[in-house]
Amino acid sequence: MNILMDKEEIKTYIPHREPFLFVDQVLEFEPYKRILAVKTFPATEEFFKGHFPGHPVLPGVILTEALAQSAALLLAASLVKDENAGNPEGCYLMGLDKVKFRRIVVPEDRIQLQAEIVKLRSKIVTFKASAYVGESKAAEAEFMATFY
């Protein structure tokens, strides 16, 4: 798959920065519809030292944040590329629902982050998102966010 956005371009759409930027590349992007992004967490990430020693596992909250960032990226890039919309100042999480973890994610797993816009009304947007490692679903969630 071709890389549509690298990390430097991603930074032009969302405000997150290292060490809290959890999207490495975008492979697919359909404005106002869906995005496929990827993230690989190296074994050197500080949180792996304590979660869990001897058997490092990606914390669910970090995986959820990676999904939320991919959703925010979908919305922000859609708005910026839309000549009829203004540039958003920020996309803020309002709610999480139906969060489920299906398998553990370990250091060096390549995580595919899929997000789609379910509803966009005024300044409120609802997303569905899923994370995969290979063909195996690692997590899923629904998000509600607002943007300014």
Q: Give the side-chain half-sphere CA count within 13 A for 117.
A: 22
51 part of the active site? yes
Distance of CA 119 to the CA centre of its chain: 17
User: How buried is residue 47: exposed, middle or buried, by Cβ count under 10 Å (0-12/13-18/19+)?
Assistant: middle
Q: Beta strands 136-147 and 91-101: pairing type? A: antiparallel
- Catalytic pick among 51, 80, 99, 104: 51
**Residues 66, 61, 57: CA angle, nearest 5 degrees:** 95
Residues marked as catalytic: 51
